[in-house]
Amino acid sequence: MAQAATPTITQNILRDGLILPRTPDPAAMVIFGASGDLTARKLMPALYNLALNRYLPSGFSVIGVADTALTEDEFRAHMEQAVQKFSRSQPVDRAVWQSLAEGISYVRMPFDDAAGYGRLAAELDRLDRERGTNGNRVFYLATAPQFFSVIIDRLGAAGIAKAGEGWKRVVIEKPFGNDLKSAQALNQAIHAVFAEPQIYRIDHYLGKETVQNVLVFRFANGIFEPIWNRRYVDHVQITVAEDIGIERRGKYYESSGALRDIFQNHLMQLLSIAAMEAPPNFDADSVRDEKVKVLKSIHPIDVANDVVRGQYGPGWVGGQQVPGYRQEVNVSPASTTETFVAVRLKIDNWRWADTPFYLRTGKRLPSRASEIAIQFKNPPHLPFAKTAVQELTPNVLVMRIQPHEGASLKIAAKIPGPVMRLRTVNMDFFYGSSFMVESPDAYERLVLDCMLGDATLFAREDEVERAWGLVDRIEAGWASQPPPAFPNYAAGTWGPPEVDALIERDGRRWRRP
């Protein structure tokens, strides 16, 4: 079989002139759940784009594992269709696809079938011999969470994950557990086969360019960090707002809700990146140590006073009439699952004491927007006539994660004219127009990092467990309260009325991104 050409150093030079620190070693990626939605929508397009941009090593190979009866040609054709449909780069380059496809094979087996793992081991051996993958393997668990433990257990029993020639790494999709206890049990099951440095827990938010840019903004510029603290920051708002409903995910969402689906992972990641101290360097553990310190510093949440939950009823979003959550497919007509949650957090450390963090996420909100907004304190004195500053709002630095990725700083400016009148204006940075290149998909970055052995943008065991500890506390608080009066917000609004009270009692207001 022909091998993909080894990328040269020159080919690895990025457009802006930086050189990749390393090219991944030749490796095989085993995708469990290869006939599923995530593989088609994200993984295979990410691999194709990595190949297109020459980031994949020579001999890179993929083994798809699932239970549908497919020949290897059928599986490759299915993957090609997926790339044609979901790749960000279009049209698909035939030569690049052909070269990637030559390394794609398929092993059909139920995940709990011990004999299947024997066939998988034989296929991996063949790739080592024929394509030079040298025992380097990524096991990507793109499956429903109930299969995580069984797959790991069988990999261990079959000796496929054993140290020896080459490295072995495992990627675990979200959700990682359902509460603290199940996350701990899953960590224990994985640790029976893989050591912590081999484990890559995905939170795709961390692969987004703009989330990484928060770190660059903070730690590569001299001007922000000195004011990034309680002395200058009035409060922080972190929002992950979705205008969509639950689409066809009713069954999953009924057992999850906004708290588990978004708060435990994406919101906690954004919080820790916004609030962390500067790490001594950017290696995986230095960064994650600082993130964990933030989670450890969160003041015990007073659930009755500092948490608001909601569930959408029917309403209008984007000019369209939409059903309420309880009318969605596979949702109980009496469901008490929350589709909205807002939390007021305090962080007990020197940087943030007395600076509240307001976090919110919800479905069927008026717009899709993920952002971190740092609102600064007002100037101590305004030497202007009161009428001149009526429309003035404090300085706000907004890091936009999606859409319109970038950042903006709200500042006061004088309205042109013979009288002194002030208004707030935006200084804007848009990713798209500044760099004139499309951002890679988060999965491209994360898959490449995993192959390079860089776990900085993956969640560590203690991080995940800390976040689940917070979720458990909120769940326990809710369990001691009377059942919620759901639905309590109309689709197309910014959540239940209590969410405004949560922030307004502190004399502040939610942003409307």
Ligand X SMILES: NC(=O)c1ccc[n+]([C@@H]2O[C@H](COP(=O)([O-])OP(=O)(O)OC[C@H]3O[C@@H](n4cnc5c(N)ncnc54)[C@H](OP(=O)(O)O)[C@@H]3O)[C@@H](O)[C@H]2O)c1
Length of the chain: 513
- Give, rounded to a whole angstrom, the gap between the first and last alpha carbons of the chain: 53
Residue 174 touches ligand X, criterion: CB under 6 A = yes
Backbone angles phi, psi at 509, to 5 degrees: -135, 150
Least distance to ligand X, CB of residue 370, Å: 15
Neighbours of 125 (CB within 10 A): 13
Nearer Cβ to ligand X, position 217 or 443?
A: 443
Residue 78 touches ligand X, criterion: CB under 6 A = no
Residue 262 touches ligand X, criterion: CB under 6 A = no
Identify the active-site residue in 266, 299, 381, 404: 266
Give the CA radius of gyration of the chain.
24
Nearer Cβ to ligand X, position 139 or 494?
A: 139
Residue 130 touches ligand X, criterion: CB under 6 A = no
Residues 7, 36, 453, 469: which binds ligand X (CB under 6 A)?
Answer: 36
Neighbours of 503 (CB within 10 A): 20
Residues 5, 6, 11, 67: which binds ligand X (CB under 6 A)?
Answer: 67
Nearer Cβ to ligand X, position 131 or 204?
A: 204
Query: What is d(CA 168, CA 121) in angstroms, rounded to the nearest whole number?
Result: 13
Residue 37 touches ligand X, criterion: CB under 6 A = yes
The interface region with ligand X, picked from 140-148, 157-165, 353-361, 419-427 by CB under 6 A, is 140-148
Residues 143, 370, 408, 493: which binds ligand X (CB under 6 A)?
Answer: 143
Q: Please spell the DSSP secondary structure of 219-263, one letter per residue.
A: HS-TTTGGGSSTTTEEEEEEEEE-SS--TT-HHHHHTTHHIIIII
Residue 145 touches ligand X, criterion: CB under 6 A = yes
The interface region with ligand X, picked from 31-39, 84-92, 316-324, 396-404 by CB under 6 A, is 31-39
What are 249's two structure tokens? Answer: 């995910």
The interface region with ligand X, picked from 32-40, 52-60, 321-329, 380-388 by CB under 6 A, is 32-40
Nearer Cβ to ligand X, position 37 or 302?
A: 37
Reference 46, options 198, 204, 199, 200; nearest CA is 204
Residue 35 touches ligand X, criterion: CB under 6 A = yes
Least distance to ligand X, CB of residue 204, Å: 6
Query: What is d(CA 353, CA 229) in angstroms, rounded to the nearest whole number?
Result: 9
Backbone angles phi, psi at 108, to 5 degrees: -90, 130
Residues in contact with ligand X, counted by CB under 6 A, come to a total of 19
Residues 6+ apart with CB under 8 A from 372: 214, 236, 237, 238, 270, 273, 274, 398, 399, 401
Residue 111 touches ligand X, criterion: CB under 6 A = yes
Question: What sign does the dihedral 296-300-306-312 (CA atoms) show?
Answer: positive
Nearer Cβ to ligand X, position 37 or 72?
A: 37
On whether the CB atoms of residues 363 and 339 are closer than 8 A, the answer is: yes
On whether the CB atoms of residues 363 and 386 are closer than 8 A, the answer is: no
Nearer Cβ to ligand X, position 251 or 299?
A: 251
Query: What is d(CA 151, CA 120) in angstroms, rounded to the nearest whole number?
Result: 12
Task: List residues bridging with 30 in a β-sheet.
Answer: 63, 139
Residue 66 touches ligand X, criterion: CB under 6 A = yes
Contact set for ligand X, span 79-108 (CB under 6 A): none
The interface region with ligand X, picked from 36-44, 83-91, 227-235, 281-289 by CB under 6 A, is 36-44
The interface region with ligand X, picked from 28-36, 231-239, 296-304, 416-424 by CB under 6 A, is 28-36
Q: Tokens 């409307």 label which residue?
A: 512
Nearer Cβ to ligand X, position 71 or 481?
A: 71
Asked if 191 is an active-site residue, the reply is no
On whether the CB atoms of residues 358 and 510 are closer than 8 A, the answer is: yes
Which residue's CB comes closest to ligand X? 36
Nearer Cβ to ligand X, position 169 or 511?
A: 169
The interface region with ligand X, picked from 30-38, 313-321, 338-346, 496-504 by CB under 6 A, is 30-38
- The secondary structure of the chain in percent helix, strand, coil, rounded to multiples of 5, reads 40, 20, 40
Residues 52, 142, 292, 457: which binds ligand X (CB under 6 A)?
Answer: 142
Least distance to ligand X, CB of residue 467, Å: 16
The residues that are catalytic are: 266
Binding site for ligand X (CB under 6 A): 33-38, 41-42, 66-68, 110-111, 142-145, 173-174
